[in-house]
Amino acid sequence: MDILQRALSCPKAELHLHIEGSLEPELAFALAQRNRIDFPFASVEALRAAYDFSNLQSFLDLYYACADVLRSEEDFHDLMLAYLRRAAADGVSHAEIMFDPQTHTARGIAMGTVIKGLCAGIDAARAESGISATLILSFLRHLSEEEAFATLREAEPYLQHVAAFGLDSSEMGHPPSKFERVFAACRALGKPVVAHAGEEGPPAYIYEALDLLKVSRIDHGVRCTEDAALVARLAQEQMPLTVCPLSNVRLCVFKEMRQHSLPAMLAADLCVTINSDDPAYFGGYLGNNIRAVQEAFNFDAATWARIFRNSFQASFISAADKAAWC
């Protein structure tokens, strides 16, 4: 078996995946029809043609608009099951999945509808293939601290279904420091926290995520390479970075895959993982990310083994389960 085939079939964890970003156009149209919603695109092809992004915000505008088709517990179940089936086919044995409750509660969808539907999808997928998955409740950073606290209160009855908390959406102008108190409250619940930082934002945002939010992982973090002292610290702490290569190219963080900072990050001994972010919008699931990276960089088998070992080490599974996978 060649290196690519081995990488594709190797057991791995996916740690940076937005469930709303796995909404394929075909499912979006089916849900729009089921929920009798006037969807503002003429066809699946017309929707796909709109996937031409110039930066993070241009993507987020479409991503939030499409999420409007998600209305019922069944919709969230179907979305989750569809993603986990694709992930299992790419060798993913465990996934830690972000969801954006504020995208739904702002439209009048109850927190319980979202979480119960997603959990039902996780249960169905586990029964089918044995894949395990947990949820990361992510706050939208373009909204206020007060709204984040209100969301945390709404989630209180469902916290047994929340493995960790995250921070996503428009990065520039919304530094991690805005959510220092929210994240302190999340950590006080005994849950780990993660945050998007250094995707479009500067290295200073990565420092804030580490020092103020006290994150267990940095989502993206690719701009860390602009600051040698930061790279040295991330390496020394073996702080996991959930890198999403196709996402970074589609959102113009890097012009093309060959310019990605991934090889520099690996050379600096960083704890790198590879993930798909919003696979319906960015050209594919974890397998497609692995293919695109291998085409650009031709990694050896040991590098892929290291990346997948990192994915389990950086996950929130138990130490016993880590020992079994690593």
Residue least distant from Zn ion (Cβ): 277
| 68 makes contact with ligand HPA (CB under 6 A) | no
Nearer to ligand HPA, 71 or 174 (CB): 174
* Least distance in angstroms from the C-beta of 275 to ligand HPA: 10
Give the residue among 41, 4, 2, 5 at the shortest CA–CA distance from 23.
Answer: 41
The verdict on 196 binding ligand HPA (CB under 6 A) reads: yes
Which residues are known binding-site members for Zn(2+)? 16, 18, 196, 277
Give which of Zn ion, ligand HPA, none residue 169 binds (C-beta under 5 to 8 Å, depending on kind). ligand HPA
Nearest-approach distance from CB 207 to ligand HPA, in angstroms:
18
First to last CA, the chain: 21
Interface residues for ligand HPA in 271-300 (CB under 6 A)?
277-278
Q: Which is nearer to ligand HPA, 21 or 91 (CB)?
A: 21
| Helix (H) / strand (E) containing 268 | none
Q: What angle do CA 8, 9, 15 make, to 5 degrees?
A: 70
Query: Which of ligand HPA, Zn ion, none interacts with 71 (beta carbon under 5 to 8 A by kind)?
Result: none
Closest contact distance (angstroms) between CB of 100 and ligand HPA is: 7
Q: Is 199 a catalytic residue?
A: yes
Q: What are the CA-CA distances from residue 2 to residues 8, 34, 301, 307 (Å)? A: 10, 44, 9, 17
Q: Residues within the annotated binding site?
A: 16, 18, 196, 277-278
- Provide long-range contacts, Cβ within 8 A and 24+ apart, for 65-69: 65/40, 66/20, 66/23, 66/28, 67/20, 67/23, 67/100, 67/103, 67/104, 68/37, 68/107, 69/23, 69/28, 69/31, 69/32, 69/35, 69/37, 69/39
Q: Which of 63, 103, 277, 304 lies at the binding interface for Zn ion (CB under 5 A)?
A: 277
Are the C-beta atoms of 213 and 180 separated by less than 8 Å?
Answer: yes
Q: Which does 14 bind (CB under 5 to 8 A by kind): ligand HPA, Zn ion, none?
A: none
Distances in Å between the alpha carbon of 97 and those of 14, 17, 162, 220?
8, 5, 10, 15
Angle at which helices 111-129 and 145-155 pack, to 10 degrees? 60
Interaction of residue 168 with ligand HPA, rule CB under 6 A: yes
Side chain identity, residue 51: Y
Q: CB 251 → ligand HPA: shortest distance, Å?
A: 7
| Cα 183 from Cα 66, distance rounded (Å) | 28
Q: How far is the CB of 3 from Zn ion (least distance, A)?
A: 27
* Position 18 contacts ligand HPA (CB under 6 A): yes
Return the closest-CA partner of residue 193 out of 205, 180, 202: 180
* 20 binding Zn ion? (CB under 5 A): no
Nearer to ligand HPA, 90 or 278 (CB): 278
Could you say which of 20, 24, 171, 199 is catalytic? 199
Please tell me whether residue 70 binds ligand HPA under the rule CB under 6 A: no
Single out the residue of 75, 185, 71 nearest to residue 120, CA to CA: 75
- Of the candidate spans 57-65, 84-92, 159-167, 277-285, the one that interacts with Zn ion by CB under 5 A turns out to be 277-285
Residues of this chain that interact with ligand HPA (CB under 6 A) are 18, 21, 56, 168-169, 196, 199, 247, 277-278
Catalytic residue numbers read 199
Residues of this chain that interact with Zn ion (CB under 5 A) are 277
